[in-house]
Amino acid sequence: MVSLPAVMGVLNVTPDSFSDGGRYFDRGRAIERALEMHRGGADIIDIGGESTRPGAREVSAQAELERVIAVIEAVRARANVPISIDTRKSVVASAALAAGAAIVNDVSGLQFDPAIAAVASEAGAALVIMHTRGTPETMTRLARYRDVVGEVRAFLKAQAAKAERAGVKRSRIILDPGIGFAKTADHNLRLLANLPRICSLGYPVLVGASRKRFVRTISGESPEEISFGTAAASAIAVLGGASIVRVHEPAANRAAVTMALAIARGRVPQR
């Protein structure tokens, strides 16, 4: 049987995220959106309480906790869908796992708060390690590489080894090239085109291109439209070996990745 990649639906419980900022800051709306994404085909819901868009300021752990914990509990109570906590902070990860999350998604790739690896390990949670440089406030000026694919790959390999030393099982580690984080549009495109080199590290790979600035620049789409540019990026990512796509529009992206895989494999995929 041919397995399909997982679709991770994005839920930003923030006032300022770059694509959906403010839309799901209200707790009731956030919960409804999570359930709607699950019904629309999301296999995982990624819940975050801190925007990481370029230039975003750090949010306190307390504020993050107030934004996400009640939402995680409510979604767990109403739907049987794995929840991922999008945070750089070990205290937030720990509380989110206690509230029912099963995956820790660290966009700092263990650089911001390395204790987050031990938190994931103790809970037996999966851990997403993403490549970035600096912080959301500083990352734009750090987008300089001689060989972006090689440097991102080396970073992910080193951080995965750190996670394993902290006790995270190899089978629970997921790597992410960090599309849009300390990267220019050309860097993002080079990473998407060379994803098999990241996948060759032997870990599942997650790709989050959804609605990022370079997609909109290239596709010419407005923020209000369904992003077909994102769907194309998701399709290319799974053809390059990605196991998970992180997207704001799960149904459209599920259709795109399923169709892309069916063509690449020459047969109808089984769920």
Residue 218: CA atoms inside 13 Å, Cβ hemisphere, count? 18
d(Cα 204, Cα 221) in Å, to the nearest integer?
A: 30
The active-site residue out of 212, 216, 254, 265 is 212
d(Cα 86, Cα 122) in Å, to the nearest integer?
A: 18
Catalytic-residue membership of 169 = no
Nearer to ligand HH2, 21 or 269 (CB): 21
Catalytic-residue membership of 246 = yes
Residues found in the chain: 271
d(Cα 93, Cα 64) in Å, to the nearest integer?
A: 10
Nearer to ligand HH2, 81 or 209 (CB): 209
The active-site residue out of 67, 133, 153, 246 is 246
d(Cα 133, Cα 116) in Å, to the nearest integer?
A: 17
Binding site for ligand HH2 (CB under 6 A): 10, 12, 14, 17-19, 48, 51-53, 86, 105, 107, 128, 130, 176, 178-179, 206, 208, 246
**Contact in structure between 198 and 210 (CB atoms under 8 Å):** no
Token pair belonging to 83: 């929840």
Residue nearest to ligand HH2 (CB): 208
Nearer to ligand HH2, 130 or 139 (CB): 130
End-to-end Cα separation, the chain, in angstroms: 9
